[in-house]
Amino acid sequence: MSNAFYTIPEPVNEPVKFYAKGSLERKLLFEAYDEMYKRKIDVPMYINGVTIFTENRKEIRPPHDFKHVVGSYAIANSTHVEKAITTCLEAKLSWEQMPWQDRAAIFLKAAALIAGPYRYKINAATMIGQSKNAYQAEIDSACELIDFFNFNAKFLEEIYSSQPVSSKGIWNRTEYRPLEGFVYAITPFNFTAIAGNLPVAPVLMGNVCVWKPSESQMYSAKIIMDVLIEAGLPSGVINMVSGDPAMISNTVLKHKEFSGLHFTGSTKVFKTLWKQIALNLDQYINYPKIVGETGGKDFVWVHPSANIAQVGTALIRGAFEYQGQKCSAVSRAYIPKLMWNELKSFLNTELKTIKVGSPRESDNYINAVIHEASFDKLVDTIEFVKQSDDASIEFGGEYDKSVGYFVNPTIFVTTNPHFKTMEKELFGPILTIYLYEDADWEQTLTLVDTTSEYALTGAIFAKERAVISKATTLLRHSAGNFYINDKPTGAVVGQQPFGGARGSGTNDKAGSIYNLLRWVSPRTIKENFVPPTNYKYPFLEN
């Protein structure tokens, strides 16, 4: 027990390294990449602090060079998953009783390890395994993950210090207990930072966790576990299992002590899991907490008063960075007809300079999409548009999977605001533009609001303040992260808490106090210093 009220160091967003030509950081990053590219790694499962190397394994291949094998990862059977759950539950008591400052210190240390000795390793793993260029890996697996750990520790302090008032002779307290049982974290392929944050956020609040990373993020998942172990995380607090998602989830979700799901991924998978939890409800000790951040069909709406170069730049960065595989990526845009010719020529000039290829060559702005299934889906969409009367390919449309899963940045223009690619999430470097009559800008806002099932991110571009004000009001429920004259991607922890509603999730804002509050079950404690000794109230006197 400590005899002091400690405070967590004030978090500051991790400065981004730019990997400019000739810089030491570029040299060190590519040295790490080359060394890791040659080596073969075996990603184990981590159960009770023990690394489990199964015979049943799957290969890890870089999406930009899929004939090359960089290693393999373990495939679980149901016994592994059951062991992961039992182990969690055994580790639970000592973990939740550890003083909070010691718990927090583990993740502050993990942040410092990623900022220092692990930075190039975790970035290189993200580049190799998920095909991110140096900058995209840096803002994700280094900066955002560091920020999640540092800021969440500060939010923990804020939550714990929030206490009720007390009246005379009474002391009221709130204790922020972790949930009973264990939390299950399921993470997507596209952000190493999300993969690290989803198991860690509940664990920071004193919970224990079974973590199932995406099959397409296994290389950097291993580095996350290595960092956490080096930072002093006790055995069994986070147990990482990998393999068949349906089998793992079926085993976890039928356990009576399952108490929370921390999910990020597609809307379809999240809905399946929610239904499965509902069917198992009678078996659980508690009502499980369900937190899910899911798909998006993120928009840019442009008013005739907007600046064309600003709009064009936001479209290119917002739609195509990391091959459009960000849940926040722009995938539909509404452009006034009279602006189109000039904007088109701006886009044309810029897009011609974009190079597509391996993240090992630093001049490639666009790298490969994550796997063959994604590549095939995107190609089918491009071929569908070629045959369509409602839409045409304005830029790009080329693809090649001879070496890696490469799809060039592609823009469709449609005359139908409900065209398939205006409504459906594609998760690739494809943007669809609808041109509207300039005078109809206000009606177009209603169209933006009612077109898709999602409400994750969106941006408006306008100079006129009255327009900005009207659009901000009309689009109140269209996006959980709303941007004015900025691209709708690149949310920064602590600055723009991230998440959306409708089909995009439960909007619990990853990396914020709102999210951490989902992982506690407060206990109210009232203590009466001098309790009454007679039941009779004054009103009873005749």
Active site residues: 293, 327
Which amino acid type is present at position 360?
R
Handedness of CA 431, 432, 435, 441 (dihedral sign): negative
Instruction: Report the residue from 13, 86, 266, 362 that binds ligand NAD according to the rule CB under 6 A.
Output: 266
Q: Which amino acid is at 335?
A: I
Q: Which of residues 429-458 bind ligand NAD (CB under 6 A)?
A: 456
Order the strands of the 71-74 sheet from edge to edge. 41-43, 71-74, 57-60
* DSSP codes joined into one string, 376-410: HHHHHHHHHHHT-SSEEEEE---EE-SSS-EE--E
- Encoded amino acid at 23, one letter: S
The helix/strand/coil state of 477 is coil
Nearer to ligand NAD, 102 or 372 (CB): 372
Contact window for ligand NAD (CB under 6 A) among 62-70, 144-152, 266-274, 302-310: 266-274
Specify the residue, 199 or 336, whose C-beta has the smaller distance to ligand NAD.
Answer: 199
- Selected from 190, 239, 323, 478, the binder of ligand NAD by CB under 6 A is 190
What is the C-alpha separation between 30 and 25, in angstroms, rounded?
A: 9
Q: Is 210 in the site for ligand NAD (CB under 6 A)?
A: no
Q: Which stretch binds ligand NAD (CB under 6 A): 306-314, 400-408, 497-505, 520-528?
A: 497-505
Query: Measured between alpha carbons, how far is 47 from 237 in angstroms, rounded to an integer?
Result: 9
Stretch of residues binding ligand NAD (CB under 6 A), selected from 47-55, 268-276, 383-391, 528-536: 268-276
For ligand NAD, the binding residue among 50, 93, 246, 279 (CB under 6 A) is: 246
149 is written with which tokens?
């750990």
Q: Of 245 and 357, which has the nearer Cβ to ligand NAD?
A: 245
Q: Does 148 bind ligand NAD (CB under 6 A)?
A: no
Binding segment toward ligand NAD, per CB under 6 A, in 163-171, 258-266, 413-421, 434-442: 258-266
Token reading at 23: 């810089």
425 counts as binding ligand NAD under rule CB under 6 A:
yes
- Do residues 435 and 411 lie in contact, with contact meaning Cβ atoms separated by under 8 Å? no
Q: Is 504 in the site for ligand NAD (CB under 6 A)?
A: yes
* Binding region for ligand NAD (CB under 6 A) out of 109-117, 124-132, 182-190, 436-444: 182-190
* Cβ contact 201:261 at 8 Å: no
**Residue with smallest beta-carbon separation from ligand NAD:** 265
- Which residue's CB is nearer to ligand NAD, number 188 or number 404? 188
Contact 249, 219 (CB under 8 A): no
Task: Please identify, using beta-carbon distances, which residue of 100 and 191 lies nearer to ligand NAD.
Answer: 191
| 319 contributes a contact to ligand NAD by CB under 6 A | no
Annotate 16-42 with b (16+ C-beta within 10 A) or e (fewer).
Answer: ebebeeeeebbebbbebbeebbeeebe
Residue 434 three-state SS: strand
For position 427 contacting ligand NAD by CB under 6 A, the verdict is yes
Which CB sits closer to ligand NAD, 190 or 452? 190
Candidate segments 4-12, 222-230, 243-251, 358-366, binder of ligand NAD by CB under 6 A: 243-251
If one asks whether residue 272 binds ligand NAD (CB under 6 A), the answer comes out as yes
- Single out the residue of 87, 152, 239, 249 in contact with ligand NAD (rule: CB under 6 A): 249
Smallest distance from ligand NAD to CB 510, Å: 6
Residues 6+ away with beta carbon under 8 Å from 478: 299, 448, 449, 455, 458
Mapping DSSP onto H, E and C, the string for 15-37 reads CCCCCCCCCHHHHHHHHHHHHHH
Place of tokens 């969409």: 381
From the list 33, 64, 56, 386, the residue with the least C-alpha distance to 216 is 64
Biggest CA pair distance of the chain: 96
| Cα Rg, the chain, nearest whole Å | 25
Q: Which of 72, 87, 131, 214 binds ligand NAD (CB under 6 A)?
A: 214
In the list 128, 159, 194, 378, the residue contacting ligand NAD (rule: CB under 6 A) is 194
295, 404, 417, 497: which one binds ligand NAD (CB under 6 A): 295
- How many Å apart are CA 239 and CA 51, to the nearest integer? 10
Choice between 122 and 277, CB closer to ligand NAD? 277
Does residue 334 sit in helix, strand or coil? Answer: strand
Q: How far is the CB of 231 from ligand NAD (least distance, A)?
A: 23
Q: Using CB under 6 A as the criterion, what x/- string covers residues 122-141 for binding ligand NAD?
A: --------------------
Which CB atom, from 261 or from 413, has the smaller least distance to ligand NAD?
A: 261
Closest approach, Cβ 111 to ligand NAD, in A, equals 20
Least separation in angstroms between CB 417 and ligand NAD: 21
Can you tell me the distance from the alpha carbon of 175 to that of 181, in angstroms, rounded to the nearest whole number? 17
Q: Pick between residue 241 and residue 347 the one whose CB is nearest to ligand NAD.
A: 241
Concatenating the DSSP letter of every residue in 183-229 gives: EEEE--SS-HHHHHHHHHHHHHTT--EEEE--GGGHHHHHHHHHHHH
Is residue 323 within the footprint of ligand NAD (CB under 6 A)?
Answer: no
Q: How far apart are CA 511 and CA 528, in angstroms?
A: 37
Binding site for ligand NAD (CB under 6 A): 186-191, 194, 212, 214-215, 245-246, 249, 264-266, 269, 272-273, 293-296, 327, 425, 427, 456, 498-499, 504-505
